[in-house]
Amino acid sequence: VRDQPRILLINVCLRYDVPLSCPPVGLACVATALRDAGFPAHILDVDLHRLDDDQIRAHLERHAYDIVGLGNIVSGYRHTKRLCRLVKSVQPDTLLVVGNTVASIPERLLGWNPEVDVAVLGEGDRTIVELVRTWRDGGSLAEVAGIALRRDGRVVRTPARPCIPRMEDIPFPDYSLFEFEKYLEMSWRFVPEPHPIPREKMLSLPVNTARGCPFDCSFCHHAFKACPYRYYPFATVVDYFARMQERHGVYYLNFWDELSLVSKARTVELCDALERRGIEAYWPVAPRGNLFAAKDLDLLRRCKDLGATTIGGALESAAPEILAAMNKKITADQFVEQMQTARRAGLTPNTSVVFGYPQETPQTIALTFEACERAGVYPSTGFVLPLPNTPIYELARQRGLIEDEEAYLLRIADRQDLHVNLTAMPDDVLVETVTAGLIRLKDVLDIPLSDKDVIKTTYYRAARRARPETGLEAATEDQP
Ligand code: B12
Ligand code: SF4
């Protein structure tokens, strides 16, 4: 048995050029689970403080840790690699644990990075506690379910960990472990307009209300892919929000889920919970692209009356053959009907579209913009970003478009840039056709964007205007 382990959790920064940070919900769940189990961790918040490598190194030189944990989405692989090297260069004997979707390719992650000792697969809350406890007790880490590690020079996966059966068994993250007030100060920038109250009051709390997703789109992977869809009762979510409102003055309930409103019944449940509690809260209606039809106008009006300001729901594409290839299970007409109904209810629609499936042509691109125009929505736009563990990634590999996987993962980041072209169009034709369609759409919808900002919208314009260290000049919306 060892002493109480000294644990460090690093909150990775994925976008050094964007002067915005939101509370790291997943890492906070991990930190909370550790704290509740009697293993408090120190947090090094690289994202909030935009620490450079010298500052991180200086911290590691001053403080010794037995276990260091970090994790991020797989598109941020290059940050994981850099930080793992940095950690082990200063503290070679620490146990380095990596989680989140960058750990979802454990054979490759550990193969490419000798610094990484353990990959935590999927849901991390319980695995991290058992891992730390086993380490402290001097047990064999190979006995811990839900991880991958090296044994005799090979990477092995331990048996899969059962998913946490009920969301109610997962505590809401304890943000007192972080510098929460600093996050709150900039949180209104994650709130899409309109803002019914002054923006200084529009403090936003991201809440993970559901884990997983019952659908299986061919470009999508997330940490809960192996788990069933689970959610908190909305009464529990609203009670939590009310407590956070009392304590911190938050007014915007920001859903941090794969899929928040899975059904109309869940939407009614949320409305009932808000009505019963009688708090002032603003929130986005966050269904898939085809949950509501014209006959649901009254329900959407009720949402609006209870503080909903916007409605999301991804279209991704309007071309039937592409929606089929995506396994998206919606039609463009359903999407348009949902958004038109929502507009009648007084909600502002937003959506996202993704271009570049193999079936994409100038005609399918035009079809997608036409659907956006009919719906009256200017979309957050991206290009297909094939990520490991998805069918579209396998297709890109089969076609020889991802030859060196590590080199590919090191160069990708945001889907707003074209990283892989699966279409028959040359790169410039694809990008120019999309750009021309967006320029036309923003003119038709009267969106105040310049022609060069149609794909990389708010975040990017803000980043150009504001230097990260002086910070926070003018971003108003989250661009996922
Ligand atoms: C907030 C968010 C962001 C934020 C910050 C991301 C972050 N810090 O995690 C920002 C805005 C930066 C972002 C950007 C993008 N995002 Co995003 N984002 C999300 C969102 C909405 C919420 C994440 C979250 O908090 N989840 C809730 C918590 C509880 O889950 P979790 O983070 O997975 O944490 C659990 C485990 O992963 C694990 N874990 C997490 N961290 C750690 C650390 C350790 C040490 C351990 C042991 C375990 C562990 O334990 C946690 C509890 O079980 C998710 C959707 C979702 N619900 O996951 C998408 C999601 C993570 N994003 C996604 C994508 C595709 C993107 C973009 C590529 C989109 C784009 N515009 O290009 C960019 C990438 C940017 C980049 N440069 O790499 C995908 C990830 C795909 C993948 N295979 O990784 C998701 C899953 C959405 C989806 N379904 O497509 N995103
Ligand atoms: S893209 Fe959305 S609907 Fe599709 S599987 Fe992922 S989370 Fe679910």
The tokens 């407590």 sit on which residue?
Answer: 243
Distance of CA 73 from the midpoint of ligand 1 (Å): 5
Residue 466 reports pLDDT greater than 90: no
Q: Is 151 helix (H, G, I), strand (E, B) or coil?
A: strand
Q: Take atom 48 of ligand 1 and give the residue whose Cα is closest.
A: 99
CA distance 230 to 228: 6
Pick the ligand that lies closest to the CA of residue 480. 1
Q: What ligand 1 atom has the least distance to the C-alpha of 221? A: 83
How do residues 15-33 score in pLDDT, each as one tens digit? Answer: 998 889 999 999 999 999 9
Q: What integer is the mean pLDDT of 205-219?
A: 98
Determine the pLDDT at residue 27: 98
Determine the pLDDT at residue 458: 62
Determine the pLDDT at residue 467: 32
Residue 476 reports pLDDT greater than 80: no
Residue pair 87/94 in contact (Cβ under 8 Å)? The answer is yes
CA distance 26 to 29: 5
H, E, C per residue of 268-297: HHHHHHHHHHCCCCEEEECECCCCCCHHHH
Determine the pLDDT at residue 374: 98
Residues with CB under 6 A from ligand 1: 14-15, 24-27, 29-30, 69-76, 97, 99-101, 120, 123-125, 128, 208, 220-223, 256-258, 382, 385, 387, 413-415, 480
CA distance 46 to 60: 13
CA distance 442 to 108: 42
How do residues 345-373 score in pLDDT, each as one tens digit? Answer: 999 999 999 999 999 999 999 999 999 99
Q: Is 34 helix (H, G, I), strand (E, B) or coil?
A: helix
Determine the pLDDT at residue 470: 25
Determine the pLDDT at residue 478: 42
